[in-house]
Chain A
């Protein structure tokens, strides 16, 4: 029997509802000025209500002991799904059946109070995350030890560095013992060493304790390492569900064309093709080739390419505006090349976001629309290659005694 069953889940937002808060004064003022209109609900502060389905027809199930990854670009409905699963907001339609206690971790350090000491915050945060008092008492020494801030445990957390704060907060979370653990992007914080420790702890939780974990992240490496199956959301619906490797590969290599933004009225430009050729990666030479479809002749065209690493960190951005290389577009397909020099990227996979603007106004922005791979090559004479935590840019270096 599946431990989590999600059936035809949907969440509708009426766009008026998401507006910033109102002022009672205005609402009352309107009611007094035009009472009849107000009673009929035709008020000026009510902006044309429009339904927006953040999530629609989502169904899947998770087995006991499984770690399920949830991926998708920003706005694909990941956060909404997590909020419903952790019961922060109710669904509009559909249902979820959870057979076990749920612990959700949408943020590290929820409810931490700066005036309270580290120890006091462990109790508060533990209770907020659903731990019983006896449970916290039993684990407090372990939590303090894992955090590595034992020396400052009786200092108010407002005096902590942000690193210490995150360590303490994650330690509390890591000692939760729910049957189902829901984790959002929380590993994106903290330093690399602590991140590794957290990933290790997560692995222990799932492998040894047989706990069920739902894990959302932009870090494909972590998803691939931790998750057996992955759900890929796109525009609020399930695009793909299956073994991690396949889904991640499809997600990363989803061509720009397949994931291009929907046609908007008045949109002049569209990215049709993109390729990245590492010509001489060890010397930092690459060639980028794009194909841009234009509806009309444009005297001015600008292209920006953002390059992110596997952890979602921006490495660098290429932008035609900075080089003042003049680009134009003609109606139809335009082939554009960009020669890149002196960018020595470590072997690995990088994702690419693309901005195209004509006549100064952005026409198309594709967030992490595609990716490219830099193949293995030798850089240092020793044959050493730095690890991911050391960064992604390689620099020639020479050391000597003076």
Chain B
């Protein structure tokens, strides 16, 4: 094995082989975060269910009950929960990724490993919460008598990957900014809250006129949540135009986030 250390100038070189060789570290970072998370909270895994469940109840009462927001003919609880499930996966990932570098300062300044492992490990930690919370959705589907179609089972893994990529793209940008500008972390939760209302979580894309619907797609979660609902609950049609905008937006965020990350990665250890 031979390693050559040189000044780093190329933004595009990505060493897959090297990242792969650090897979054990990746595994242990996810393992650490899960272990610590579930050790520190008394309720443990129940927390992963509690959060989306209570949000669902509150939203059902306010938006479904009082405001009577149309839900494409499905019961509002399962309508909003299917949206919340993906949204909370996205927002938790984004929020945690944004402090992935700053929070692991001790590692970054003392040891070498491909830094990209930190945000990716964060996404997988959040994915475990997503899986736990998804159990509730399965329960609701049984209760309300929804049978998932074959297309849903095929599409869901793809939607999960898209959620991961979306949070990773925006997250890389924010995490790298956070190294230099520490207040990013404080501003973000507020923006995420606003962004949720710009995402079809509590409402359906069908209430937005078709002419302007593509604007929603600039937020990749719009396409993802809409498609998830169609395939899980079987209402409405998959909006391919919206999905196309979402996929393009997702890719742009990923490239921008990755390039900015590569640019500042060089001096992480010096600034952090």
Docked complex Cα distance between A233 and B235 (Å): 72
Cβ-defined contact, B24 with A21, below 8 A: no
Q: Which residues of A contact B113 (CB under 8 A)?
A: 128
Given known contacts A17-B271, A22-B180, A111 and B111 CB-to-CB distance under 8 angstroms = yes
* CB 8 Å contact bits of A59-99 with B (1 = contact, 0 = none): 00000000000000000000000011111111111111111
Docked complex Cα distance between A331 and B184 (Å): 57
* CB 8 Å contact bits of A97-134 with B (1 = contact, 0 = none): 11111101011001101011000100110011111110
Docked complex Cα distance between A104 and B111 (Å): 7
CB < 8 Å neighbour of A132 from B1, B24, B183, B267: B24
Does B221 belong to the interface (CB within 8 Å)?
A: no
Q: B3, B39, B108, B180 — which one has the most chain A CB atoms within 10 A of its CB? A: B3
Cβ-defined contact, A21 with B270, below 8 A: no
Segment at the A interface, from B5-13, B43-51, B162-170: B5-13
Closest A residue to B109 by beta carbon equals A88
Interface size class of B (residues with CB under 8 A): 35 or more
* CB 8 Å contact bits of B21-33 with A (1 = contact, 0 = none): 0001101100110
Q: Which residues of A contact B39 (CB under 8 A)?
A: 115
Q: Which residues of A contact B2 (CB under 8 A)?
A: 97-100
| Number of inter-chain CB pairs below 8 Å | 116
Does A39 belong to the interface (CB within 8 Å)?
A: no
Does B68 belong to the interface (CB within 8 Å)?
A: no
Cβ-defined contact, B28 with A88, below 8 A: no
Docked complex Cα distance between A399 and B266 (Å): 63
* CB 8 Å contact bits of A9-41 with B (1 = contact, 0 = none): 000010001100111110100000000000000
Cβ-defined contact, B36 with A129, below 8 A: no
Q: Which residues of B contact A93 (CB under 8 A)?
A: 7
Cβ-defined contact, A89 with B110, below 8 A: no
Closest B residue to A25 by beta carbon equals B183
Query: Please, how many residues of chain A have a CB less than 8 angstroms from a CB on the other chain?
Result: 48
Cβ-defined contact, A27 with B1, below 8 A: no
Cβ-defined contact, A91 with B181, below 8 A: no
A25 to chain B, nearest CB (A): 6
Given known contacts A106-B111, A110-B107, A133-B27, A24 and B3 CB-to-CB distance under 8 angstroms = no
Given known contacts A21-B179, A22-B181, A98-B2, A90 and B7 CB-to-CB distance under 8 angstroms = yes
Residues of B with Cβ closer than 8 Å to A? 1-8, 24-25, 27-28, 31-32, 35-36, 39-40, 106-113, 177, 179-184, 187, 266-267, 269-271
Residues of A with Cβ closer than 8 Å to B? 13, 17-18, 21-25, 27, 83-102, 104, 106-107, 110-111, 113, 115-116, 120, 123-124, 127-133, 179
Nearest 10 CB-CB pairings of A with B = A24-B181, A87-B112, A127-B28, A96-B5, A90-B8, A98-B3, A89-B269, A110-B110, A127-B25, A88-B269
* 22 cross-chain CB contacts under 8 A: A17-B267, A18-B270, A21-B179, A21-B271, A22-B181, A22-B182, A85-B5, A86-B111, A87-B3, A87-B5, A91-B6, A95-B4, A95-B6, A110-B110, A115-B35, A115-B39, A124-B31, A127-B25, A128-B28, A128-B113, A130-B25, A133-B24
